[in-house]
Amino acid sequence: MNEFIQKHGRLLRLYRVALRVAGSLILILNFAGVSIMAMIVLLTKIGHWQHSQAFDMTDWPWRFSRNILLGLVTLGLSELIKYVVESKYKPSWILRHGDKMLYTYALLIAWNVVLSHMKSPIYDIESLHGTFLDARVVVLLVTVLYAATKVLILVGLAQVLRRILPVIQESKTLV
């Protein structure tokens, strides 16, 4: 592993910086989006200003929470690269709790799928007209399959992260 780190040190540092910048930008832009949305909500509540129907605010909490977790996961990956490359670096808070963030991200994905499809008119049996593979059913199945895949990948990554940090620490003490 040390050969790989020495051979690709510059590239790993570039990845670490790029991930840190991307994660920070995601968090900063998310905070700006939350601020703008709060101002829009205040303007619609205080004034007589109406927002358009296309501007549906029911989906925004999910988007903001997903982006916060995406930014934290990106920063965590940056910290993982730093932890592997630098010999005296101790794991930061983000890296120590990265598995919990991945579990939370997986839970939010599953929760979003459940909530979005509970609001869907697919559960109106009379509208299906007796067809089994109606387009809405196919869309539901594809969406659930896609979300289940994402959830399983995130849970697997959380398990790997939980088990790999002690291995990296042990390999540093052996050198």
Instruction: Kindly tell me if the per-residue pLDDT of 4 is higher than 50.
Output: yes
**pTM of the predicted model as reported, rounded to 2 decimal places:** 0.74
What integer pLDDT is reported at residue 43 of this predicted model? 75
Domain range for 147: 97-175
Across the chain, mean pLDDT equals: 81
Average pLDDT over residues 22-48: 82
On whether both 108 and 52 belong to a single domain, the answer is: no
Cα–Cα distance measured from residue 70 to residue 105, given in angstroms and rounded to the nearest whole number: 8
Domain C-terminal end among 38, 70, 92: 92
Cα–Cα distance measured from residue 51 to residue 43, given in angstroms and rounded to the nearest whole number: 9
Quick: pLDDT tens for 125-137: 555 555 556 666 7
Domain count, the chain: 2
Domain C-terminal end among 58, 92, 126: 92
What integer pLDDT is reported at residue 37 of this predicted model? 78
On whether both 85 and 111 belong to a single domain, the answer is: no
On whether both 164 and 104 belong to a single domain, the answer is: yes
On whether both 78 and 145 belong to a single domain, the answer is: no
Average pLDDT over residues 94-116: 88
On whether both 79 and 114 belong to a single domain, the answer is: no
On whether both 112 and 73 belong to a single domain, the answer is: no
On whether both 130 and 102 belong to a single domain, the answer is: yes
Residues 6+ apart with CB under 8 A from 113: 143, 144, 147
On whether both 169 and 133 belong to a single domain, the answer is: yes
On whether both 79 and 6 belong to a single domain, the answer is: yes
On whether both 84 and 107 belong to a single domain, the answer is: no
**Sorting pLDDT into bands at 50, 70 and 90, what band is 170?**
confident
Instruction: Kindly tell me if the per-residue pLDDT of 155 is higher than 60.
Output: yes
Domain C-terminal end among 47, 69, 92: 92
On whether both 86 and 1 belong to a single domain, the answer is: yes
| 81 alpha carbon, distance to own chain's centre | 19
The answer to whether 74 and 19 have CB atoms below 8 angstroms apart is yes
On whether both 18 and 82 belong to a single domain, the answer is: yes
Cα–Cα distance measured from residue 81 to residue 77, given in angstroms and rounded to the nearest whole number: 6
What integer pLDDT is reported at residue 14 of this predicted model? 94
